[in-house]
Amino acid sequence: MKVHLTRSYGFSASHRLHSPQLSDEENRALYGKCNNPHGHGHNYEVEVTVAGPVNPVTGRAVDLVVLDRIIDEEILTPLRHRNINEEFEAFRGPVVPTTENLAAEVYRRLSGVWALVFASPGVMLEKVRILETERNICEVWD
Amino acid sequence: MKVHLTRSYGFSASHRLHSPQLSDEENRALYGKCNNPHGHGHNYEVEVTVAGPVNPVTGRAVDLVVLDRIIDEEILTPLRHRNINEEFEAFRGPVVPTTENLAAEVYRRLSGVWALVFASPGVMLEKVRILETERNICEVWD
Amino acid sequence: MKVHLTRSYGFSASHRLHSPQLSDEENRALYGKCNNPHGHGHNYEVEVTVAGPVNPVTGRAVDLVVLDRIIDEEILTPLRHRNINEEFEAFRGPVVPTTENLAAEVYRRLSGVWALVFASPGVMLEKVRILETERNICEVWD
Amino acid sequence: MKVHLTRSYGFSASHRLHSPQLSDEENRALYGKCNNPHGHGHNYEVEVTVAGPVNPVTGRAVDLVVLDRIIDEEILTPLRHRNINEEFEAFRGPVVPTTENLAAEVYRRLSGVWALVFASPGVMLEKVRILETERNICEVWD
Amino acid sequence: MKVHLTRSYGFSASHRLHSPQLSDEENRALYGKCNNPHGHGHNYEVEVTVAGPVNPVTGRAVDLVVLDRIIDEEILTPLRHRNINEEFEAFRGPVVPTTENLAAEVYRRLSGVWALVFASPGVMLEKVRILETERNICEVWD
Amino acid sequence: MKVHLTRSYGFSASHRLHSPQLSDEENRALYGKCNNPHGHGHNYEVEVTVAGPVNPVTGRAVDLVVLDRIIDEEILTPLRHRNINEEFEAFRGPVVPTTENLAAEVYRRLSGVWALVFASPGVMLEKVRILETERNICEVWD
């Protein structure tokens, strides 16, 4: 039987929403207080869902020690207690660190190393979900 | 990349579960204490999920200021601090304000105005989710 | 050693905030949307704290089966799935069912039966806490 | 309109993760502290989602009194305040009580009685979701 | 009867923990990742508790419209979506924006205006509680 | 200004409530399903509150790195993923691992090492709070 396992992790980070391709007025209209030049921050939650058949010996679809390690290396270490605009590679340029772009980037990073780590073809990265707050949440899947 | 963004909102309302097409005894058997003639109430949560490609300039699939305004006008203003049976149009007649019917009605109302507000064909209302309590939840999608 | 044990219970109820001793305008100014004539409702939480020395045989300051029964009889049965203004005795008259008055009334009711149920002088009703929502909370103690 | 209704239930249980088909060292590497020989436990949450069209008379896809009874008989009574390895049938043998296997077993048990209880062909058991903690969650569907 | 009413509010802000009176090494040892030069952020919760006798006409110890306005002006407007080190007056100098200092400052600010707003001597600011995360919480009272 | 800082930690453990000084019938009457011979378990939360004046240089009443280490050594390591009756010293004998006794024991253990770790006389262990579930909570203080 196929299962869908979700692991959830928290990290605290700061960001500022500001698009260099828009005027100051457009930025304020679009992002409101999130456009504040000095930035602000959140206790983010990131949830990663993997899918696959259960191994009858281990009762697992994927080794959780390995999954935790990959997420720690690829996602938590570069984001935990960081300024996303200045320290997380994908957002140093013009890409705005909205929850939408952050979820997409987390999905992309994990996809990039997935096949190297989990060789078994049936084990898939199914979904990434980011909660900026409990009231603003973004999911990405393929 | 396509993203699925969820916004969550709270409102407090009262209701009574009673079907005029059933006998008093059938109502009590079906709805239990929720059939109490004087009504009761809940701190509801409503979650609205929209899906679409991320705009590379704004980092958003949809303008959240607009989304919040539509949900405020169509859903929260008519429901917040209201008696659903007496004040929310769809439930003034024989339709019973179960979480199921409430979720369906919220989905229907948002669908009705969606195309007027979000002209871009790729931006879709994907799902409505209502939590009556943390233990009774209903989702509707197409 | 003295311990302070808290039991938490949920109930859903409706109410309306309206003081007969104030004008309609004053009521609206004071209570805002909570003054809506048709009422609204909440998923309330009530927390009851008892204090006392731990019995070395049972590891308890008070028999929780008895505590749960008293709270069920005195508080939950009269409030669960009820309209507080119409069905909970203390609020049928001019007393307004604010969280403040509700917490005071719950404390008063439990105090009234306490000595009959828990004869041991060291076992005390210490505190009642009511959460109308997670953002509006009232505590009463002696 | 089709709705997807989720009911959530809690139960406290203990378990130990240990596969008799692996060496002690492999067990420790795979399960970490969860392999502790004396076991440990959790406040589990189980969420059951049913899908179906809304009955226009009752406002329900399924009778919730019946659903609650079935889940109580099939899932909560055998699991509540139990040692899963020793008392829950499916895990007395070599099957390891991971969240993955537990979710699969709960789904299987409910599927086994579903057709007997809910004769209407449109009413389906859609999903089972188990939260071992808020950070380790498994879903099973068909 | 005296009641203790708590109102809870959320705000998102960024900060950096760094004491100019300590060496870089001491700062890193004391604050760990919170000393990261680019800062990080949190979804803070601030809870304000007021105590006083219940007014028999209104059922309130204090006018909540007034309380909310004061907290909005004094606390939320200067903190919401802000960088605490650069934008919140008390932390522009050498004072480190720990949860401890933030709670003390919020208490001090509210105390400073309290008597001007709530003339009735029995109505007291009782406690301020700040949650930086659900696992790091600071309370201040007199 | 004096502050009251609370740190919160989670651990999963199993236990059984059974007093050797009571008959089997008395045990079942008193503890209900918690008396199940095979045991069950919980995701416990333990909250430790310390009080003291804020150090003007560090913005802290106590070094949190040290506090976390002491709690890890004294409380979390002996309890995490353990069977409390068999593995936590104080409960190997006739003492019943109720939340009351567990909170008292955690308080006692921390008190025992407090003066060795925090020499400053103004820094006090103020309170220990244990949540067995969100609905059964015990606090101990002096």
In this prediction the ipTM stands at 0.96
Out of A41, A80, A87, the one facing E42 most closely (by C-beta) is A41
Q: Is F45 on the interface with E (CB under 8 A)?
A: no
Out of E21, E29, E138, the one facing F57 most closely (by C-beta) is E21
What the block records as the tokens of A110 is 């994990």
Give C72 to chain F, closest Cα distance, Å: 14
Q: Which residues of A touch B66 (CB under 8 A)?
A: none
Q: Is E83 on the interface with A (CB under 8 A)?
A: yes
Decide if pLDDT at D13 tops 80.
yes
Q: Residue F58, exposed/middle/buried by CB under 10 A (0-12, 13-18, 19+)? A: buried
For residue B105, the model assigns a pLDDT of 98
What the block records as the tokens of D29 is 């590497």
Q: Which amino acid is at F31?
A: Y
What the block records as the tokens of C7 is 């039991």
Q: Which residues of F touch D14 (CB under 8 A)?
A: 14, 38-41, 83
Query: Is E12–A80 a contact, with Cβ atoms under 8 angstroms apart?
Result: no
Nearest CA in chain C to F140: C3
Please identify which of the residues B26, B73, B81, B86 carries the catalytic annotation: B81
Q: Which residues of E touch C105 (CB under 8 A)?
A: none
Band the pLDDT of F4: cuts 50, 70, 90: very high
Query: Is A6–D139 a contact, with Cβ atoms under 8 angstroms apart?
Result: yes
Strand, helix or coil for residue D142: coil
Rounded Cα–Cα distance for residues E59 and E5 (Å): 12
Band the pLDDT of F120: cuts 50, 70, 90: confident
Q: Given the structure tokens 């404390």, which residue do they identify?
A: C107
Sign of CA dihedral A103, A107, A112, A113: positive
Instruction: Locate all alpha helices (DSSP H) within chain B, ordered by sequence.
Output: 24-31, 64-71, 77-79, 84-87, 99-117
Nearest CA in chain B to D5: B138
Q: Is F106 on the interface with C (CB under 8 A)?
A: no
Q: For the segment B11-65, what is each residue's pLDDT rounded down to a tens digit?
A: 999 999 999 999 999 999 999 999 999 999 999 999 999 999 999 999 999 999 9
Chains F and A touch (3+ CB pairs under 8 A): no
For residue E120, the model assigns a pLDDT of 82
Out of C95, C96, C136, the one facing E7 most closely (by C-beta) is C136
Strands (E), chain B: 2-15, 40-53, 82-83, 124-133, 136-141
Q: Is A95 on the interface with B (CB under 8 A)?
A: yes
E partners (3+ CB pairs within 8 A) are: A, C, F
Q: Which amino acid is at A67?
A: L
Q: For the segment A125-141, what is each residue's pLDDT rounded down to a tens digit?
A: 999 999 999 999 999 99
Query: How large is the average pLDDT for residues C108-126?
Result: 92
Decide if pLDDT at A20 tops 80.
yes
Q: Is A76 on the interface with D (CB under 8 A)?
A: no
Q: Mean pLDDT for chain E?
A: 97
Give F97 to chain C, closest Cα distance, Å: 7
Decide if pLDDT at A121 tops 80.
no
Decide if pLDDT at E119 tops 90.
no
In residues, how long is chain B? 142
Q: Which amino acid is at F137?
A: I
Please state, in angstroms and as integers, the Cα–Cα distance from residue A87 to each residue in A78, A79, C133, E37, E46, following that order: 8, 8, 38, 10, 29
Band the pLDDT of D89: cuts 50, 70, 90: very high
Band the pLDDT of C79: cuts 50, 70, 90: very high
Decide if pLDDT at D37 tops 80.
yes
Q: What is the pTM of this model?
A: 0.97
Query: How large is the average pLDDT for residues E58-83?
Result: 97
Question: Catalytic residue positions of C?
Answer: 34, 81, 132
